Amino acid sequence: MDGRRLLLVGTYTPDSDPAGEGAGIYRVWFDPMTGEMADGGVAARTPGPSFLAFHEDPPTVYAVNERAEGTVAAFRVDGQARLTELGSAPTGGGSPCHVLAVDSRLTVANYANGVATVYGLGKDGTLIAGAAEFANTGSGPVTGRQEGPHAHSAAAPDERHVLVADLGTDELRVIRDGEQVGAVSLPPGTGPRHTAVAGEYLYVAGELDSRVHVLRWDPGTGTAEHLGSVHATGEEAAGDNFPAEILTNGDHVYVSNRGADTISTFAVRDGGARLEHVANAPAGGPWPRNFTVVRGHREEPDHLVVAAQNGDSLASLLLDPDTGVPADTGHRLGVPVPVCVLPVPITRIRRAEGS
């Protein structure tokens, strides 16, 4: 077997809401030395898999089906990078847009009605019947976007808690041991979209205020202290720029900026309590939605792979080992309406199979 990495790419499809020209989940092979990408074909035909999550034991991929009546589907992954559907379940709401797999639970965020749904996972990776649904109330000041709750993502800061970013209410809703126990408030108009966890620190991408918020998480109390925020592009851009994904890699935080069409790099300062804007780099395509870090092994460099939703393409960016700033490799791969990029540890799957 070669050393290429497996990436799975989620797209919008003709039967999703919003609709797109994708066919489902695509298979992409990534060369970690050069950043080149190769088309591996359609791995699974499923409606609107706009966000994907991986669970290693057993190797399973979960995909939301973003439609008016949302569902989530489970797929077994084998050493040949084939996906076999294990089943699906309703998500308890419309427009599911994020899924998180941690230990024996799966959390789905439904944007339309703000419901967060938590499923138990069977030992075979299937969804256990009797999911718990957590609704919310409230609103925010941004007209047309914050008329009510809009659950947008879930993150796990520790073993007991899940934090649901609610774009509509400017909160991180706290679920502990299967119960919704409170919320962490963010400044009005933040529009929290995604959360990156780095030890005791949380970095939240504000879609509506175009800022990155820094919080210190306390697992004992299930609360967080808001420490401050920085502009997502290094300058005021609310209303023109809409941050989407946020990820950490070592001492850096990265944010995709839809509107500016850049990836912003932030250096972590004061042990994590402060972010310093370092640079904006071209994202490699218009409307960079989701992206992932492909970490190099041994002499391999680190890369970002960016889903340019409105460019129908993936772009690979090389991370400078000293500054952490991404630079365009020039490599592109055409994929219709790509909105999520998920790395899957295919080498470990093959080893476990003995192949």
Size (the chain), residues: 355
Tokens representing 257?
A: 């900026």
Q: Tell me how far the alpha carbon of residue 14 is from its chain's centroid.
A: 22
Look over the chain and give the mean of its residue pLDDT values, rounded to a whole number: 98
The pTM score is 0.97
Q: State the Cα–Cα distance between residues 259 and 245, nearest whole angstrom.
A: 13
pLDDT at 2: 74
Q: What would the mean pLDDT of 153-165 be, rounded to a whole number?
A: 98
pLDDT digits 0-9 by tens, 263-316: 999 999 999 999 999 999 999 999 999 999 999 998 999 999 999 999 999 999
Alpha-helical segments (H) within the chain: 346-353
CATH 3.30.230.10 fits 5-353, yes or no: no
Q: Tell me how far the alpha carbon of residue 255 is from its chain's centroid.
A: 11
Q: State the Cα–Cα distance between residues 208 and 142, nearest whole angstrom.
A: 8
* Confidence at 1, pLDDT banded by 50, 70, 90: very low
Which phi-psi region, left, alpha or beta, contains residue 240 (left: φ > 0; alpha: ψ -120 to 50)?
A: alpha
Nearest to 256 by CA among 213, 226, 298, 285: 285
Across 245-267, b (16+ Cβ under 10 Å) vs e yields: bbbbbeebbbbbbbbbbbbbbbb
pLDDT digits 0-9 by tens, 210-266: 999 999 999 999 999 999 999 999 999 999 999 999 999 999 999 999 999 999 999
> Has residue 46 got a pLDDT over 80?
yes
Q: State the Cα–Cα distance between residues 77 and 99, nearest whole angstrom.
A: 17
* Confidence at 354, pLDDT banded by 50, 70, 90: confident
Q: What would the mean pLDDT of 49-61 be, rounded to a whole number?
A: 98
pLDDT at 15: 98
Compute φ and ψ for 271, nearest 5 degrees: 70, 5
* % of the chain at pLDDT higher than 90: 98
| Residue 226 and residue 244 in contact, taking contact as beta carbons nearer than 8 Å | no
pLDDT digits 0-9 by tens, 63-108: 999 999 999 999 999 999 999 999 999 999 999 999 999 999 999 9
> Has residue 171 got a pLDDT over 80?
yes
Q: Where are the beta strands (DSSP E) in 56-210?
A: 60-65, 71-77, 83-90, 96-102, 105-110, 116-120, 132-134, 151-155, 161-166, 171-176, 179-185, 192-198, 201-206
